[in-house]
Structure 1
């Protein structure tokens, strides 16, 4: 394995990907950080929890095709899970690493599970922070319940009326997301609104945007092999981190994953919602480092 600290442009499957390496002097198994979204980036993580993790681990950031500082594919539909798995395998080959550890947050946690399912022999162990299960009814219901729990009276009434109209779950879900503003989304994602404000400030500072193309592609091209039935085949040691106030994916999603994975443990963060890495950064880093060093 030959890794050195720095930022790189790495061509994976014909797409130029932004890659950053920190902590190579630690000489550990690479810890690959997988961002969420879908369509997000690492700008916030690499300025919050990331620098603390790289004090003891070799940390590898990369932004998925069409995300953040990575190149957009030529076709809008080229964001499938299969493409993302192939990109990841080429990244691993570029690193020259036989095995890697994974730390995925939000959708990145779900993607880490997809990687582990597809190439189990190439993954050592995983940390899933607030993992998602996209395109499932239960996640949509968790989010809808979450919005109702923090909604002002006007929004609460609008959501209630959608339910009373007898619309299909998908239609209610899409209409609610069309109704909510950024302040309401912050209330959904964060328990501490001061942290939410800092997060938004970093988003603005980054000048990076989520095009929505990956989300659209992944929700319109449903997998022939859904993830949930495959979870029982994943044998890697896995730590699932969940904020007790997570209204976006939350304890119900983490519990489903925890029950089906053979070798998983859960760590609840009692002051966090969807981003324990931001709301309880010190504890997050400590728990992750302890898990990696004790296995």
Structure 2
């Protein structure tokens, strides 16, 4: 089918999905944007780097079930990778191209890898920005260490207290997030706090409410074989972009993913934390367009 710019609401797997097409006039292989979270949205990318990228590429935005402008399933358990991949497969059929490119940031990078592993013949190239591996306990340790690296003395002591309590690392991770204040979270995600303020403004403008439902569903229903054990099966051309100051998923996770993939390239952005597309947009666009 011929793609037409605009916003759409499509029922896929009984869920109303918000989809947006930009840059259809470029007639390139569609680049599907996959947001992070779990439970986030595309609002910030859609209003910062997205319009710049759509000047030369055809872009497909969609927000995952229960996220942003898309509908939500009745069950709190229906947010696993299996459902998310099935949703993407339906969106791929709606797009009407044999193959699409993927760009996933944060958790969206992990989901992009899961999609590519499950639907290899439908994916062309894959871009990952600060990808996560939430199935690994190491992921939580990296983020906790990230908090420690930018926390004030009071919060450092609170983290130490939580780590000394009984419970799993996942429970301690959630407890730390509950007591982290806004300025600490902003320092976790961004090196330049001007971008942190803009991201927070856009997040508030989007009225995003992340309840944590998707994260809990994924934690409670993990894949039988963790993604890290299946990455060797992914042979696609993959570019990984990560900020050297990323304190959320971090350079260690990107390195881990890079080492397991047979056909990937890792580029580090020296002025960025978790959001290179906002903190170094020109460099980001240059690398993305060159790769595609």
Deviations 1:3-35 (A, max 9, x none): 110000011111110000000000000000000
- Aligned partner of 1:252 in structure 2 is 252
8 Å Cα contact 2:100-2:123 kept in structure 1: yes
- Aligned partner of 2:102 in structure 1 is 102
Alpha-carbon deviation of 1:220? Answer: 1.7
Q: 2: CA distance between counterparts of 1:169 and 1:25?
A: 48
Deviations 1:154-175 (A, max 9, x none): 1111222334457543333222
**Helix, strand or coil at the partner of 1:79:** coil
Q: 2: CA distance between counterparts of 1:38 and 1:171?
A: 16
How does 1:192-211 map onto structure 2 within 5 Å? 192-211=192-211
CA RMSD of aligned residues (A): 1.2
- Aligned partner of 1:85 in structure 2 is 85
**Helix, strand or coil at the partner of 1:262:** coil
How does 1:33-182 map onto structure 2 within 5 Å? 33-165=33-165, 168-182=168-182
How many residues align? The count is 292
For normalisation by structure 2, the TM-score amounts to 0.97
- Aligned partner of 2:288 in structure 1 is 288
More deviation, 214-223/35-44: 214-223
Q: 1: CA distance between counterparts of 2:266 and 2:76?
A: 36
8 Å Cα contact 1:76-1:213 kept in structure 2: yes
8 Å Cα contact 1:68-1:210 kept in structure 2: no
Q: 2: CA distance between counterparts of 1:9 and 1:131?
A: 28
CA, structure 1 residues 12+252, in 2 after alignment: closer, same or farther (shift >3 Å)? same
Q: 2: CA distance between counterparts of 1:15 and 1:165?
A: 40
8 Å Cα contact 2:31-2:102 kept in structure 1: yes
8 Å Cα contact 2:135-2:226 kept in structure 1: no
8 Å Cα contact 1:31-1:100 kept in structure 2: yes
8 Å Cα contact 1:69-1:208 kept in structure 2: no
Unaligned runs of 5+ in 2: none
CA, structure 1 residues 117+158, in 2 after alignment: closer, same or farther (shift >3 Å)? same
Deviations 1:65-101 (A, max 9, x none): 1100000111111111111111101101011110000
Unaligned runs of 5+ in 1: none
Alpha-carbon deviation of 1:224? Answer: 1.3
CA, structure 1 residues 168+211, in 2 after alignment: closer, same or farther (shift >3 Å)? closer
**Helix, strand or coil at the partner of 1:44:** helix
- Aligned partner of 2:14 in structure 1 is 14
**Helix, strand or coil at the partner of 2:67:** coil
Alpha-carbon deviation of 1:181? Answer: 1.5
